[in-house]
Amino acid sequence: MAPQATATAAAAAAVRHHRPHLLLRLGGGLLPSLPFASRGAAATPARLRVPPARFSISPVPKSLSAAVTSSHVPVRSLFTGIVEEVGRVRLLGPPLAPSGGGGGGYGEAPGLDLVVETKSLLAGTQLGDSVAVDGTCLTVAAIDTAASTLTFGVAPETLRRTSLGERAAGDSVNLERALTPSSRMGGHFVQGHVDGTGEIAAFRPDGDSLWVTVRAPPEILKLLVPKGFVAVDGTSLTVVSVDDEGGWFDFMLVRYTQDNIVLPTKKVGDKVNLEADILGKYVEKLLAGRVEAMAKADS
């Protein structure tokens, strides 16, 4: 059989078996002669020319390339709940250098300065960066490389909402820097906006794992579901059980997590910062608005 006839037969077979990708002749940009035939009509050979593909790839602008590869790409107020380091509180007290207007004075409830000793977070951290301290998003106000410390300003509302006001020199705290575009999402989206505090109710060993039960207020418990996320002192954890009537939830810590966060060193009765998954907050608000709208429509 002649080469052209062979190509035509192969093309016809490809069409019959619904395999049009076999029609392309690599590198030539041509389709072989193909008998397109209607039922009951004679085949009409046709040669189709496929224009060669033309691709245009624009180079990445130098400014964008530099931004992506930069060692410092500030992305603030979003964390994963995977603790980077356990730091140590060096000082919690009145600001040494008051800022703001009004002659440098404060109101009746001044904020505090929190100075934390860290080993690994100094590299790449700059003034104004966000760091989660026990799950609380704080802004770096001062960096002392000689003393290996970061200083944060803690506002009165933060002191009311979290357990940071109970920290003292020598206490350990969980530390995590904000996400960057190259960070792995090993936990879940944690904002560092603490919803409130809970209280450790019980520890129970289970092999080399550790069960932890936490009492929490109703406004936080209603946002928790079994197998859902919760941030406890900034650690991303999976909820196991929720008891709304009893006012508690629990979770399990594997050995590695126990060795790299502060929680196992705390005692029953100690406070912990709690942040519910943001998805639950949005759903709760949307449903509440829907129920309210339906109630108004029925009235």
Catalytic residue among 12, 155, 183, 203: 155
**Catalytic residue flag (residue 213):** no
E-assigned strands of 59-146?
85-93, 112-117, 130-133, 136-144
**Catalytic residue flag (residue 137):** yes
Token match 């392309």: residue? 24
Q: CB-based burial of residue 95 (10 Å sphere; 0-12 exposed, 13-18 middle, 19+ buried)?
A: middle
**For the chain, first and last CA: distance in Å?**
86
Cβ neighbours around 178 below 10 Å, total: 19
**Catalytic residue flag (residue 79):** yes
Catalytic residue among 33, 77, 139, 172: 139
**Catalytic residue flag (residue 193):** yes
- Which tokens is 254 given? 């594997």
E-assigned strands of 112-228?
112-117, 130-133, 136-144, 149-154, 172-177, 196-206, 209-215
Catalytic residue among 137, 141, 231, 276: 137
Catalytic residue among 8, 11, 79, 213: 79
Residue 6's φ and ψ, nearest 5 degrees, are: -60, -45
- How many Cα atoms are found within 13 Å in the side-chain-facing hemisphere of 241? 12
- Which tokens is 242 given? 């929720």
Catalytic residue among 6, 44, 238, 241: 238
Catalytic residue among 8, 80, 125, 130: 130
**Catalytic residue flag (residue 44):** no
- How many Cα atoms are found within 13 Å in the side-chain-facing hemisphere of 242? 19
Contact 135/234 with Cβ under 8 angstroms? yes
Contact 199/184 with Cβ under 8 angstroms? no
Q: Which residues pair with 35 in a beta bridge?
A: 45
- The Cα-based distances of 6 to 13, 44, 77, 190 in angstroms read 11, 17, 66, 64
Just list the catalytic residues: 79, 130, 137, 139, 155, 193, 238
